[in-house]
């Protein structure tokens, strides 16, 4: 079997499902595929969040500095940005089951290698330069593998669900980053505190291998590949004229649509803010507010649960409470996100106060994220070009996340003196990004209505 034939979209199965079994089979496979991609993508995030948990142990152990960790993080994001763009376009033509499985499998291997490398770091006598290079290269490889997770997950919604249900299902699927972060922060934080930073990578590797098995067992490529009619026929959904056009033509149409670029730029600032908190929040709580690793990871990790609630509420708020108006929930949630982020960064307080600030931020920010980066795009993107839209948004957002990683790392290092950190400048950088993230789509709404 060639590389191309292994990954290409499955052909319709010759043997069809009997007519009396079609409805039950469709619902069973659709549900199984949805929860398969949701669980697998949650475990994708466990494999990508390890570095955010182990930063202080690496700094305190003299293995890497904050600036070097920023470089390593940027290697992930810049590679991820390019990978998200390319894999978004490629995934429209691919077998989503195999595509997703390969990405998480190799991501697990990268975490395994980093864990083993950490255990052998002392005996091998690796110098600072070699350590930086090894971490940067391997974390960059992980970035490419991670870019193979979101496109097949979102494409599965297009292949298995009618338009009338895609918004609801997307709001559930889009909660996977928060679930993955919560699992990673709490599980990995506990393991790192108990056994050392090396075992954080090894635990993430184990989670990744579980995701590989889930992908292979639960995900089905297309209804047609399972002997079923197309999703339009199954749901009695009228075929839009645009849906009959070739995939390549639709991808070009999406690329030229100004609305997708409004979303891409807005999402770039969303990712700067999101990854600032997830990448540096634990270190901020440890260095600025003197929390232990366990307590810091609990605050960041548990608050992600409120992000799940925000994602689940986003569709309901937009469709029911505000009757399809996308702007109003974005403005209200955006203001709450900025205020709660500022409170977290500039207010003191103990565990409960900081938990409250991060929880409110996580909830409000997730509402903005789900509507801007998800529902607004689904309003106009054709089904067969979903991956292309993800690719365009992905390269912009993760290039910004990479720039954030470098800028934040050097801002933190640059304003540190004798082990004392001044997070004021980097905090202002994060707050401005959060403000622009919700203002830009509001100002560019006219490009998103058609």
How is 60-106 classified by DSSP, letter by letter? HTTS--HHHHHHHHHHHHHHHHHHHHHHHHHHTTB-HHHHHHHHHHH
Residue reference for tokens 């202080």: 56
**337 token code pair:** 């996100």
Q: Write the burial class of residue 442 (CB in 10 Å: 0-12 exposed, 13-18 middle, 19+ buried).
A: middle
Q: 19-58 pLDDT, tens per residue?
A: 888 899 999 999 999 999 999 999 999 999 888 888 888 8
Q: Which residue has the higher pLDDT, 199 or 412?
A: 199
Under DSSP, the state recorded for 381 is -
Residue 401: band (very low, low, confident or very high) from pLDDT cuts 50, 70, 90: confident
Q: 149-190 pLDDT, tens per residue?
A: 988 888 888 888 886 676 677 778 877 877 887 788 788 888
User: Is the pLDDT score of 399 beyond 60?
Assistant: yes
* Three-class DSSP category at 248: helix
Q: 414-438 pLDDT, tens per residue?
A: 776 766 778 888 889 999 999 998 8
List 413's β-bridge partners, or say none: none
How is 167-180 classified by DSSP, letter by letter? HHHHHHHTTHHHHH
Residue 106: band (very low, low, confident or very high) from pLDDT cuts 50, 70, 90: very high
Range 30-224+247-447: architecture per CATH? Up-down Bundle (1.20)
Distance of CA 14 to the CA centre of its chain: 36
Distance CA 321, CA 376 (A): 16
- Rounded to a whole number of angstroms, the CA Rg of the chain reads 22
How is 23-66 classified by DSSP, letter by letter? HHHHHHHHHHHHHHHHHHHHHHHHHHSHHHHSHHHHHHTTS--H
Under DSSP, the state recorded for 162 is -
**Cβ density class 45-72: b for 16+ within 10 Å, e for less:** bbbbbbbbbbbbbbbeeebbbbbbbbbb
Residue 24 — φ and ψ, nearest 5°? -65, -40
Residue 449: band (very low, low, confident or very high) from pLDDT cuts 50, 70, 90: low
* Three-class DSSP category at 15: coil
Residue 208: band (very low, low, confident or very high) from pLDDT cuts 50, 70, 90: very high
User: Is the pLDDT score of 450 beyond 70?
Assistant: no
Pick the closest to residue 200 from 293, 80, 299 (CA basis). 293
Q: What is the predicted pLDDT for the residue at 105? A: 97
Longest Cα–Cα distance in the chain: 74
CB atoms within 10 A of CB 428: 14
């Amino acid at each position: 079997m060639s590389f191309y034939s292994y990954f290409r979209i499955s052909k319709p199965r010759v043997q069809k499902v009997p007519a009396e079994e079609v409805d039950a089979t469709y619902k069973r496979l659709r549900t199984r595929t949805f929860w398969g991609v949701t669980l697998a993508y949650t475990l994708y995030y466990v494999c990508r969040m390890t570095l955010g948990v182990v930063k202080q142990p690496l700094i305190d152990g003299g293995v890497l500095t904050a600036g070097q960790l920023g470089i390593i993080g940027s290697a992930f994001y810049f590679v991820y940005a390019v990978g998200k763009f390319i894999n978004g376009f490629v995934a429209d033509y691919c077998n989503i089951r195999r595509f997703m499985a390969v990405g998480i499998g190799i991501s697990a291997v990268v975490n395994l290698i980093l864990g083993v490398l950490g255990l052998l770091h002392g005996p091998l006598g690796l110098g600072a330069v070699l350590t930086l290079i090894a971490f940067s290269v391997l974390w960059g490889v992980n970035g490419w593998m991670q870019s193979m997770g979101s496109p097949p997950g979102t494409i599965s919604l297009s292949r298995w669900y009618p338009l009338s249900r895609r918004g609801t299902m997307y709001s559930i699927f889009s909660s996977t980053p928060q679930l993955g972060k919560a699992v990673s922060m709490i599980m990995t934080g506990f393991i790192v505190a108990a056994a050392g930073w090396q075992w954080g990578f090894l635990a993430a590797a184990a989670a990744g291998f579980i995701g590989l098995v889930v992908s292979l067992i639960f995900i089905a490529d297309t209804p047609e590949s399972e002997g079923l009619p197309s999703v339009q026929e199954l749901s009695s959904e009228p075929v839009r004229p645009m849906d009959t056009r070739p995939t390549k033509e639709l991808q070009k149409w999406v690329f030229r649509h100004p609305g997708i670029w409004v979303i891409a730029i807005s999402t770039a600032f969303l990712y700067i803010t999101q990854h600032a908190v997830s990448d540096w929040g634990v270190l901020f709580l440890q260095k600025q507010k003197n929390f232990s690793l366990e307590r810091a990871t609990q605050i960041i990790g548990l608050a992600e649960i409120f992000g799940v609630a925000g994602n689940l509420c986003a569709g309901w708020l937009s469709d029911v409470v505000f009757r399809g108006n996308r702007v109003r929930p974005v403005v209200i949630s955006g203001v709450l996100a900025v205020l709660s982020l500022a409170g977290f960064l500039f207010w003191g307080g103990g565990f409960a106060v900081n938990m409250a600030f991060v929880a409110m931020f996580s909830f409000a920010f997730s509402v903005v994220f789900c509507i801007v980066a998800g529902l607004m795009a689904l309003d106009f993107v054709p089904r067969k070009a979903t991956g292309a839209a993800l690719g365009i948004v992905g390269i912009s957002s993760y290039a910004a996340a990479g720039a954030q990683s470098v800028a934040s790392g050097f801002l933190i290092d640059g304003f540190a003196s004798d082990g004392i950190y001044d997070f004021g400048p980097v905090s202002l950088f994060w707050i401005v990004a959060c403000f622009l993230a919700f203002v830009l789509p509001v100002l560019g709404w006219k490009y998103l209505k058609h």
